[in-house]
Amino acid sequence: MADIRLEGVGHSYDGGETWALKPMTWTWRSARAYALLGPSGCGKTTLLNIISGLLTPTVGRIWFDDREVTDVPTAGRNIAQVFQFPVLYEEMSVYDNLAFPLRNRKYPKQEIDQRVRQVSELLGLDQVLRRRSRRLDPGRQQIVSLGRGLVRAQVAAVLLDEPLTVVDPALKWTLRSKLKEIHRDTGHTLIYVTHDQTEALTFADEVVVLNEGAIVQAGEPAELFLSPAHEFVGHFIGSPGMNMLPAEIVGDVVRVGQADVGSAVPEPAERPAREPASEPAGEPAGETADETAGGTPDGLPPGPVRIGVRPEFVRISGTRTSPGVAAKVTGIDRMGAFDLVHAQVDGHRVIAKTEAGSTCTPGTVEFLHFPADRTFLFRDEVRCGSLAPLNGRGQA
Ligand SMILES: Nc1ncnc2c1ncn2[C@@H]1O[C@H](COP(=O)(O)OP(=O)(O)OP(=O)(O)O)[C@@H](O)[C@H]1O
């Protein structure tokens, strides 16, 4: 196991015209379980293939601890990779498929048997060890592929590229918790690629969010939910995603329409990000998680800003208490366990997630309250500040 460090690593498939992966500097720490989360086409597979050596990056260098591996082929990197679809020797038994990566590296027979049995038991394959792999259904075959990726205890990292896509949804939950169990047991560095936030949030110690070829934020699941550093994280994580409303900074006050909703507090110069996520280099102009636009020690520059608040934290009342933003209720989704109240503020949609049984009625005007500690300010999509109660007064 090793820290995997990417130094200015970026990739272009078209000779530098566009960048599937914008040059980034980033360290995957040894023994952590990461989810690499992002929408289709954001560069997840490209990044994984660069780590495993299937792809040589256009720019940048890769280090496993203090060994540079940029030009080392896959076989020399000691990485296990599991793909979206089964990669197996179909004529071999399940046992032999699981044993293959160990036999290939000349592990002692007894250790091979022990590891195969351990992994197969954890993945529920112990009853089919003697069966030919082609006789299994595709979901089971994929679980064998997963086992092949996990069977070696000593690997630099295990890379999993949407490994549960072909697996039955009911089994996915079980397998994810098995994966966590195996991770606890072996201490592998795991990088688990997914575009599914639930999968990412339930699996990982740390979720790395990739968008348009750049890491926009990395953190524990709760941090991404409670403290998004980028608008993309706000709307990609959470269901429904974060509300975003145009606002204005006037003096040190944040105004939405005619309502003052709080004081503007600039982002501290040093956000506790671990390190620069991505760096602009040459052609690609990447948004970066650490570019805190506009943050100054004295306050945020006046002008337009967007405020973001998650539906879970918007509060609604029928009377105007300050600070409150007038909103017209447009509809209510009764979801059983909770309600989603849809409203409009100057033509902009806002959703509030409330307890079931909301008494709001479509067509009426209600007042929305944005709790200071859960409301953030964004410029150029990057978080630049947050709200504080107006004049030190608590909010309704
Ligand atoms: N071999 C290739 N040649 C040219 N362009 C490519 C190639 N592979 C990927 N791309 C492009 O690079 C970008 C990133 O692709 P990548 O497959 O890394 O994204 P992804 O996040 O893994 O997507 P998905 O979730 O759909 O697999 C996309 O715009 C894609 O079209």
So what's the pLDDT on residue 266?
Answer: 94
Give the separation between CA 242 and CA 257, rounded to whole angstroms. Answer: 19
CA distance to 51, 57, 58, 73, per residue, from 12 (Å): 15, 8, 6, 19
DSSP result, 321-334: -SS-EEEEEEEEEE
Token pair 């973001």 is found at: 308
So what's the pLDDT on residue 340?
Answer: 97
The residue whose CB lies within 8 Å of the most ligand 1 atoms, and thus the one to mutate among 46, 50, 55, 199, is 46
So what's the pLDDT on residue 173?
Answer: 83
So what's the pLDDT on residue 271?
Answer: 53
CA of residue 21 to ligand 1 center, whole Å: 9
Q: What sections of the chain are H helices per DSSP? A: 44-52, 94-104, 109-122, 138-150, 169-186, 197-203, 221-226, 231-236
Question: Is the CB of 11 inside a 6 Å radius of any atom of ligand 1?
Answer: no
First-residue to last-residue Cα distance in the chain: 51
So what's the pLDDT on residue 321?
Answer: 65
CA of residue 42 to ligand 1 center, whole Å: 7
Give the separation between CA 265 and CA 388, rounded to whole angstroms. Answer: 7
- For residue 325, the cross-strand partners are 368
Residues of the chain with pLDDT under 70: 270-298, 320-322, 391-396
Give per-residue pLDDT as tens, 266-306. 998 755 444 444 554 444 444 344 433 444 456 899 999 99
Name the closest-CA residue to atom 26, ligand 1.
40
Give the separation between CA 304 and CA 192, rounded to whole angstroms. Answer: 38
So what's the pLDDT on residue 5?
Answer: 97
So what's the pLDDT on residue 390?
Answer: 84
So what's the pLDDT on residue 176?
Answer: 85
Token readout for 216 is 């926009």
Here the ipTM equals 0.98
Q: Are 345 and 245 in contact (CB under 8 A)?
A: yes
Question: Is the CB of 46 inside a 6 Å radius of any atom of ligand 1?
Answer: yes
Spatial CB neighbours of 110, under 8 Å, sequence gap ≥ 6 = none
pTM: 0.87
Identity of the residue numbered 331: G
CA of residue 213 to ligand 1 center, whole Å: 10
